[in-house]
Chain A
Amino acid sequence: MSTRPDAPTRGARRVVPVHEVNAQIKGRVLNVFDQAFWFNPLVRAVLIIGAAILFGIAVTTPLEVWQQALFSIIMFVAALVIRRVAGQFAVVSLIVLSVTASIRYMYWRLTSTVGFVDPLDMVLGWGLVAAELYALTVLLLGYLQTAWPLKRKPIPMPADNSTWPTIDIMIPTYNEPLNIVKLTVFSALALDWPADKLNVYVLDDGRRPEFKAFCQDVGAGYITRDNNLHAKAGNLNWALARTSGEFVAIFDCDHVPTRSFLQLCMGWFLRDKKLAMLQTPHFFFSPDPFEKNLGTFRSVPNEGELFYGLVQDGNDLWNATFFCGSCAIMRRGPLLEVGGVAIETVTEDAHTALKLSRAGYNTAYLGIPQAAGLATESLSAHIVQRIRWARGMAQIFRVDNPIMGKGLALGQRLCYANAMLHFFYGLPRLVFLTAPLAYLIFGAQIFQAPALMIVAYALPHIFHSSLANSTIQGRFRHSFWNEVYETVLAWYIMRPVTLALINPKAGAFNVTAKGGVIDQAFFDWTMARPYLVILLLNFVGICFGIVEFVGGDVDARTTIVVNLVWALYNITIACASVAVAAESRQLRTTPRVSASLPATIMLNNGKTIVCRTTDFSQQGLGITLPQGVTVPTDQDLHVCVFRGEEEGVFPATVVYSKGQTLGLRLDKLDLQQQSKFAQITFGRADTWAENWGHASVDTPLGALREVSLIGMRGMKLLSRSLYGASRTKISTSLANRSSVSKR
């Protein structure tokens, strides 16, 4: 073996540039064990043509029901066996099986099931086909995007920090409260970077005097303008014209960077001179409305984790990392070259990255959370934010379509296309949620094929794609949750996306409200309306179906059962979506972060108690005391929190004491203490990385149970709210009646 230095080493991925391989091929006998063999153009052509022929046969060969069933079972067993093998090869194999099953289904669907005669059948039938084609396209593009995540590692900075570049940190803000912005500014000022090469600027579009005073006190720059044109993008561009650092790091005002952010991220810029933008994950220390209302914080991967955990890493392979507006670094030169931050659309970030890619610059993604922020707090705020993203992506699709235009490689075009197509899920999702009703209620034959045949073709398509996605997405998205997330948003993003497609210029920029308080748990009836309609429709459909099953044609029973199962699934998903609309109470205006940090309590008599924190917020700390030690409430004391050898001491009062658990309120910290507290808690480099991608790995059946349980909870919540609402109504009407009778 040692005579073949170019043999790929087991485990390590050694990529040999093509020109090198071609040089090796010359004058050598071809050997199938050589990597060079597989790079031979002739070998490749033969293989590709052979594979295409085999694929064509696998997709197009018509089979009887039992043959198709047998073929499906063999394929599925193969997939289950492959799934047990770890590694990228297994993933790619599962993708191949899934693509085969899905294309075979779609081929059959388009050739054998669309012989519609009745006009109603035709309209509804082709509607479903269109939705399915959309889903298939997104599925295939998704595979391309996520099959091989790059998993880039940080590059260390050179030891001599006199060669390090200058960086401007920009923190745009508009209407967010000062105490939230403070945290970000303190942490930005404490970034590990030579002080003379780091400038922190607060870009205040709210032009608030207390912000100006604060910036002066702590030594941050403060930039304002006399208008708010183009919102955040305009704000950034205004500041770009007034600063001069070689690099610009952008943080939303509620994204708190950890001290290591710059040192971990900047290495790649020194290595790759064409690198114009590096993005890191958006990590949230507070639960988003899904997590809050469903009680799934840190146990089920949230909506964003798939994107930052997998999709961005996959994009990176294709040099198509998206800029997400915050927690990212950009090289000033290229940014100015493309005209600064894009202002044509409401998702200025993604559009800016697209322009940089078109201009021939590289982008990168580093999947280590180096900053954390506040998630949207209520369902309505969450929906407003997603509407903006969806609108923006549709706008880019119109004004600067990535499939067209110059400067992009094919991989980049496809990644961007998928990102935009993804946001068109609204209508197709609603089609899937109502499709079984076509048959159950209207008796429309939207599938012109026997029920068993449909099952034999459609199930492999569904099962293989679930299995492949579950394997790829494992820790970042649990099965079926995608349906829940999409169902919650589908109705709301459908209209703005369609409008933006028709007229990209319509509409205004929305700012997401953050840091709010929900005084009382309530059911958001307004927001839940679409899911309730879907729920009701499917419920009616099931009633129709049962009646038909009992009293109708015996031959149609299989078809009825298929549609009933589908409707039942839709009800489960709709119920889970309903549960999201039950807003739970949120009292704290600043969120609490769970963290076990070494700490010490210093009592006023000079005694000390070594302990650990359970959580921290800007205003206080939770403490666990050692066994048998107690501290009474209302005591003034000092609390030390440690980060390695570093230590912060803060005055505090005991506001809660029960057994070994203490609640401390931090008392009137001065600016220096506030800054220290931010550095030693929110700014810790290790805080967020520990929680990243550590959700339990997906098992499809486990996830189905999860979603079903949440669905049942939604049903319970709904009936309780209905009961409550009807009681209020009855009592009001009774009261009215009694007052009438008194008259």
Chain B
Amino acid sequence: MKIVAVVSAKGGVGKTTVCANLSAALGLRGHPVLAVDLDPQNGLRFHMGLGTEAAEGIAAATLARRNWREVCVQGPPGVSVAPFGPMNESLRVAFEHVLANDPAAIRRQLGYIGLPADTIVMLDTPPGASIYMRQALTCADMVLVTTLTDAASYATLPTMHELIHHYCGGSGNFVGYAYVLNQVDRSRELSRDITEMMRADLGDRIAGIIHQDQSVAEALAFNRNVLEYDEHCRATHDFIQCAAWIGAQLQSQVTAS
């Protein structure tokens, strides 16, 4: 089992979209994938074709001391989804209390599921520093930082860097962290310039560049991932390319160890 935490320093960068589409792309590559929604907004399921009916999720399962396996549902081909589940305020506080007291809670819960050894677990987290992000970073084998190519996102890169250094490495097999540049549009001068700056700064830590693409938003409206919705669009190809990069990185770590 390899745990990939998808994080971002600020909201609205399309992190859940990235997590969902990367999960689908990894699933297409033949990896068994479990996409776990660690965000109380419980939004991941919309990207996974799971509909709007309120299914039970991992938060309630944890509090009820039940195996997460029971709340996993089938998503796109090769992908299982563990939704966060509907929440009220008292439940959320109780769940966060569990996470606060046990930094390894999520890794342990994932272990109980009994996933096949080659499974890739994709953790979607709420934006910014939170107890969820801390858990995710602590147990992650790889961290994917999602960022836009705008000035505000560029400014948050050091914060994210600091958080990663503070929390990561706990899994013992930490592969490293990488960046996914989202909604890149190089026909706009600012996006182009910041993309180039980030490419220069981040070098081979760029896992992928996802282009601005109307089909991504449309796919969500149709309750699907973009790979299923529009196989010929740029974003689909970008996600597939990024998934290949992630697969190769995790693979090289396996062969190295």
Q: What residues of chain A have their CB less than 8 Å away from a CB belonging to chain B?
A: 600, 602, 605-611, 626, 629, 638, 640, 645, 647-649
B208, closest chain A residue (CB):
A645
| A-B contact list, 28 entries, CB within 8 Å | A600-B211, A600-B234, A602-B234, A605-B214, A606-B214, A607-B213, A607-B214, A607-B233, A608-B211, A608-B213, A608-B214, A608-B233, A608-B234, A608-B235, A609-B233, A610-B233, A610-B236, A626-B231, A626-B232, A629-B232, A638-B187, A640-B186, A640-B211, A640-B234, A648-B186, A649-B186, A649-B187, A649-B192
Q: How far apart are B227's CB and chain A's nearest CB, in angstroms? A: 12
Instruction: List residues of chain A with CB within 8 A of the CB of B74.
Output: none
Tell me if B199 counts as interface (CB < 8 A to partner A): yes
B191, closest chain A residue (CB):
A649
In whole angstroms, what is the CA distance A607 to B192 when docked? 19
Q: How far apart are B239's CB and chain A's nearest CB, in angstroms? A: 12
Main secondary structure of the interface of B (DSSP, over half): mixed
Question: Given the interface contacts A606-B214, A607-B214, A608-B215, does A645 sit within 8 Å of B234 by beta carbon?
Answer: no
A606 lies within 8 A of B233 (CB) = no
Instruction: List residues of chain A with CB within 8 A of the CB of B209.
Output: 645
In whole angstroms, what is the CA distance A606 to B226 when docked? 14
Q: How far apart are A669's CB and chain B's nearest CB, in angstroms? A: 12
Instruction: List residues of chain A with CB within 8 A of the CB of B234.
Output: 600, 602, 608-610, 640
Most buried by A among B187, B212, B231: B187
Q: How far apart are A276's CB and chain B's nearest CB, in angstroms? A: 37
Tell me if B92 counts as interface (CB < 8 A to partner A): no
A598, closest chain B residue (CB):
B237
A607, closest chain B residue (CB):
B214
Instruction: List residues of chain A with CB within 8 A of the CB of B215.
Output: 607-608
What number of A-B contacts does a CB cutoff of 8 Å give? Answer: 45
Most buried by B among A605, A608, A610, A629: A608
Main secondary structure of the interface of A (DSSP, over half): strand
A606-B212, A648-B186, A649-B187 given; name 4 further pairs at CB < 8 Å. A607-B215, A626-B232, A645-B209, A649-B192
B236, closest chain A residue (CB):
A610
Instruction: List residues of chain B with CB within 8 A of the CB of A600.
Output: 211, 234
Q: What residues of chain B have their CB less than 8 Å away from a CB belonging to chain A?
A: 186-187, 192, 199, 206, 209, 211-215, 230-237
B187 lies within 8 A of A610 (CB) = no
Instruction: List residues of chain B with CB within 8 A of the CB of A605.
Output: 214
Q: How far apart are A565's CB and chain B's nearest CB, in angstroms? A: 60
A610 lies within 8 A of B186 (CB) = no
Instruction: List residues of chain A with CB within 8 A of the CB of B199.
Output: 645
Instruction: List residues of chain A with CB within 8 A of the CB of B187.
Output: 602, 638, 640, 649
In whole angstroms, what is the CA distance A600 to B209 when docked? 14
B213 lies within 8 A of A606 (CB) = yes
Q: How far apart are B149's CB and chain A's nearest CB, in angstroms? A: 12
Q: How far apart are B16's CB and chain A's nearest CB, in angstroms? A: 20
Instruction: List residues of chain B with CB within 8 A of the CB of A649.
Output: 186-187, 192
Instruction: List residues of chain A with CB within 8 A of the CB of B235.
Output: 608
Q: How far apart are A25's CB and chain B's nearest CB, in angstroms? A: 51
B232 lies within 8 A of A610 (CB) = yes
Instruction: List residues of chain B with CB within 8 A of the CB of A610.
Output: 232-234, 236-237
In whole angstroms, what is the CA distance A601 to B231 when docked? 14
Instruction: List residues of chain B with CB within 8 A of the CB of A648.
Output: 186
B214 lies within 8 A of A647 (CB) = no
In whole angstroms, what is the CA distance A610 to B215 when docked? 12
B189, closest chain A residue (CB):
A672
In whole angstroms, what is the CA distance A32 to B206 when docked? 60
A609 lies within 8 A of B214 (CB) = no
Q: How far apart are B159's CB and chain A's nearest CB, in angstroms? A: 25
Instruction: List residues of chain B with CB within 8 A of the CB of A638.
Output: 187
In whole angstroms, what is the CA distance A647 to B186 when docked? 8
In whole angstroms, what is the CA distance A626 to B235 when docked? 15
A650, closest chain B residue (CB):
B187
A603, closest chain B residue (CB):
B214
B233, closest chain A residue (CB):
A608
Instruction: List residues of chain A with CB within 8 A of the CB of B236.
Output: 610
In whole angstroms, what is the CA distance A606 to B232 when docked? 14
In whole angstroms, what is the CA distance A610 to B230 when docked? 11
Instruction: List residues of chain A with CB within 8 A of the CB of B213.
Output: 606-608
Q: How far apart are A132's CB and chain B's nearest CB, in angstroms? A: 64
Q: How far apart are A180's CB and chain B's nearest CB, in angstroms? A: 27
In whole angstroms, what is the CA distance A562 to B213 when docked? 74
B232, closest chain A residue (CB):
A626
In whole angstroms, what is the CA distance A629 to B233 when docked? 11
In whole angstroms, what is the CA distance A140 to B99 when docked? 86
In whole angstroms, what is the CA distance A609 to B211 when docked? 11
